[in-house]
Amino acid sequence: MRMAAPAPGQKIKVGVLGATGSVGQRFMQLLNGHPWFDVVALGASPRSAGKTYEDAVNWKQSVPIPPAMAPLVVSECKPDAPVFKDVKIVFSGLDANFAGEVEEAFAKADVAVFSNAKNHRYDSDVPILIPPVNLDHLDIIPAQRKARGYDKGFIITNANCSTTAMAIGIKPLAAKFGIETIMVTTMQAISGAGYPGLSGMDVLDNVVPYIGGEEVKMETESRKILGTVQNSVFVDADVNVAAMCNRVNVLDGHLECLSIKLANKATAEEVIDCIKTYPSITKDLGLPSAPDHDVVYNPSHDRPQPRMDRMVGDGYTVTVGRVRDCNVFDIRMVVFGHNTIVGAAGGSLLNAELCVVRDLIN
């Protein structure tokens, strides 16, 4: 079912949980002037509650705090707090130590929750939704509502940011040729560790070959994301992923080198062609934050690069490059995505816009 966009003056009231954090700040930036959503409520820790947003936040974005948002008063993350009264959607950039229960409380209180935290990703009734990859996973929502006793609320999560870029980059191949095995090595930006994240002493002139929990997340989440929903049950894709994750001295954007074994053999030219002709799913759905293309192929011999490609499609587009044959598996390629836009806040925004279009916000 497709709903008309909310009329001007009748925007949907939304809240941001964890509004003061790295992902929360990106939400505030992306929601500023949004045609469908109006930010009316902000939540963060008790340390921030009661302060205005501009006093509570340690703003680290390269654009100023949106003037209309600066004077909003931050609340505790409780659905019965007065500011959340008419809110139909919350975007969660909460610290994973607190996100799980808070998000459940909001969903129970009839609010649609779009989360960046890992807490609910592996629940058997919660989708890890990436519209260009698996929008059919939305079909689980009626079962989730029934199982949890939610009426109008529900929980939808994002993938881990490295997993999101990889999933969007490989989806055209998975759809056309099938994928059996992936070896992936990541070079992940420091913003992925939040603020203050790693110390300068750790990250300057250095690469850290360890990001706690990241490899297992890539290996697990990709199977669920590329899988199917059958009779209200997720069925994982039969794909083996081995991930090696590294933190590098880059501000934003995760670069990933993949070697892929296809189910049905294809040449590098055929793979490039299938990426170039993959449909622009979010744009075709009419989502206001959608880029022109969810995934693009860059033919230059030395791209993608973080500094050059992080803002392709305003940070919503994943760039693939260096597609070539592989001596061990079938195809090698490089995938790049902005970790806090398509990999976090922007991805959640697309998920919420999709739910508006599908008439799930009521």
Ligand X SMILES: N[C@@H](CC(=O)OP(=O)(O)O)C(=O)O
- The binder of 346, among ligand X, ligand NDP, none, by C-beta within 5 to 8 A per type, is none
Measured at CB, which residue is nearest to ligand X? 192
**CA dist list (Å): 205 to 103, 188, 250, 305, 339:** 39, 15, 11, 18, 21
- The binder of 272, among ligand X, ligand NDP, none, by C-beta within 5 to 8 A per type, is none
Per-position b or e across 132-144, b if 16+ CB within 10 A of its CB = bbbbebbebbeeb
Letters for 185-224 (x = contact with ligand X by CB under 6 A, - = none) are ---x---xx-----------------x--x--x-------
Residue 172 phi, psi dihedral angles, 5° rounding? -60, -40
Least distance to ligand X, CB of residue 326, Å: 26
Confirm or reject binding of residue 12 to ligand NDP (CB under 6 A).
no
From the list 77, 120, 161, 245, the catalytic residue is 161
Contact of 23 with 31, CB cutoff 8 Å? no
Q: Considering only residues 237-276, where is the footprint of ligand NDP by CB under 6 A?
A: none
Confirm or reject binding of residue 186 to ligand NDP (CB under 6 A).
no
Least distance to ligand X, CB of residue 65, Å: 23
Toward ligand X, which CB reaches closer, 221 or 309? 221
For residues 204 and 188, give the distance between their C-alpha atoms in angstroms, rounded to a whole number. Answer: 14
For residues 287 and 161, give the distance between their C-alpha atoms in angstroms, rounded to a whole number. Answer: 21
- The binder of 90, among ligand NDP, ligand X, none, by C-beta within 5 to 8 A per type, is none
Give the max Cα distance, the chain. 61
Toward ligand NDP, which CB reaches closer, 226 or 344? 344
Q: Is 301 a catalytic residue?
A: no
For residues 96 and 98, give the distance between their C-alpha atoms in angstroms, rounded to a whole number. Answer: 5
Confirm or reject binding of residue 167 to ligand X (CB under 6 A).
no
The two beta strands, 12-17 and 37-44, are parallel
The H-or-E segment that residue 255 falls in is strand 254-262
Q: Is 161 a catalytic residue?
A: yes
Confirm or reject binding of residue 191 to ligand NDP (CB under 6 A).
yes
From the list 254, 274, 293, 355, the catalytic residue is 254
Toward ligand NDP, which CB reaches closer, 195 or 210? 195
Least distance to ligand NDP, CB of residue 56, Å: 6
Angle of helix 22-31 relative to helix 346-357, nearest 10 degrees? Answer: 50
For residues 184 and 205, give the distance between their C-alpha atoms in angstroms, rounded to a whole number. Answer: 23
Confirm or reject binding of residue 120 to ligand X (CB under 6 A).
no
Would you please indicate which residues are annotated as catalytic (active-site) residues?
Answer: 161, 254
